[in-house]
Amino acid sequence: MFDTITVIGFGLIGSSLARKIKEQSLCKTLICADREESVCKTVMHLGLADQATTNLEEGVQHADLVIIAVPVGAYEHVGAAISQSLKSGAIVMDVGSVKENAILTLAPHIPENVSFIPAHPIAGTENSGPESGFSNLFEGRWAILTPIDKEKDPKAVEKISEFWKACGSMVEIMDAKHHDRVLGITSHLPHLIAYTIVGTATNLEEDTKSEVIKYSAGGFRDFTRIAASDPTMWRDIFLSNKDAVLDILQRFNEDLTELQKAIRNGESDKLFEYLTETSAIRKAVIEAKQEIPPAPIE
């Protein structure tokens, strides 16, 4: 599909893509570009790439496809570093969880003769680093593309769609602002709530905390998994998608206040109705085959 692919940032997403690229032979040469020498050493040791470098400029200069897989807060640095070295006709794709800000930050660094296709795979785990990746992470998951102008570069959009399909994903094209709103509710708010619940428990008395851990088999255990996600990545997501996250948080607070009132006033019917309505969403998630967390099969 490509002659040379360079993946910048060899963490969970970058290394999972690299594994799939190798498995499906989607390019002749795969290059790892990561700021950490230790990451480059691990990547070569695990055989995840053909070459590895900490020099981003050098890493991208022969690439037909450059995949940016670093936290969104590092986009300005990465964009500025690669801008002058990108090959004419190359495609740059990021995989960041926030799209409007990704476009605002990266697009000014992409030269006229290079295509930029922002993307976001709706797949992940709470783990980070090159060892945590696995090749079937994207299997049966959505990859959302948010091209700045669909009409301007249809060939690049088509090629990137084919790339994600080769990784096992289903592809959807969406406006970046709409993406950020949808993901604000389905991903960013749940993470914020998980961090808050686990944070509240952490602030409890020492003896109560030990009981929280002891009896965590209930809902709390699932929250601790989500709240173990990478703090750099999530700090960057909350700050980059600030408007959508704050707006959705406001609505959430209003609903929570309604439930609080219903409990205080013993409004049994109102509570029951609310709890019944939400189970329909769970059914729909299962029917859409999006309920099972991805698991490594290697």
Residues at the interface with ligand NAP (CB under 6 A): 8-14, 34-36, 39, 69-72, 74, 77-78, 95-97, 120-121, 124, 128-129, 230, 233, 237
Biggest distance spanned by C-alpha atoms of the chain:
67
- Report the alpha-carbon distance of residue 280 to residue 203 in Å, rounded: 34
To ligand NAP, the closest distance from the beta carbon of 243 in angstroms equals 17
**Residue 8 or residue 66: which is nearer to ligand NAP going by CB?**
8
What CA–CA distances, in Å, run from 289 to 145, 165, 226, 265? 20, 17, 20, 38
Judge residue 221's burial from the number of C-beta atoms within 10 Å of its C-beta, 0-12 exposed, 13-18 middle, 19 or more buried: exposed
Contact status, residue 117 vs residue 103, Cβ threshold 8 Å: no
Query: Partners of 173 in the beta sheet?
Result: 145
To ligand NAP, the closest distance from the beta carbon of 269 in angstroms equals 39
To ligand NAP, the closest distance from the beta carbon of 153 in angstroms equals 22
Any idea what DSSP says for residue 127? -
**Residue 35 or residue 270: which is nearer to ligand NAP going by CB?**
35
Contact status, residue 91 vs residue 117, Cβ threshold 8 Å: yes
**Residue 124 or residue 147: which is nearer to ligand NAP going by CB?**
124
What CA–CA distances, in Å, run from 53 to 39, 49, 251, 270, 297? 10, 10, 46, 59, 29
Judge residue 270's burial from the number of C-beta atoms within 10 Å of its C-beta, 0-12 exposed, 13-18 middle, 19 or more buried: middle
To ligand NAP, the closest distance from the beta carbon of 73 in angstroms equals 8
**Residue 49 or residue 233: which is nearer to ligand NAP going by CB?**
233
To ligand NAP, the closest distance from the beta carbon of 289 in angstroms equals 18
**Residue 35 or residue 62: which is nearer to ligand NAP going by CB?**
35
**Residue 17 or residue 91: which is nearer to ligand NAP going by CB?**
17
**Residue 129 or residue 168: which is nearer to ligand NAP going by CB?**
129
Q: Which of 83, 78, 113, 108 minimizes the C-alpha distance to 94?
A: 78
To ligand NAP, the closest distance from the beta carbon of 69 in angstroms equals 5
- Report the alpha-carbon distance of residue 298 to residue 179 in Å, rounded: 32
To ligand NAP, the closest distance from the beta carbon of 162 in angstroms equals 20
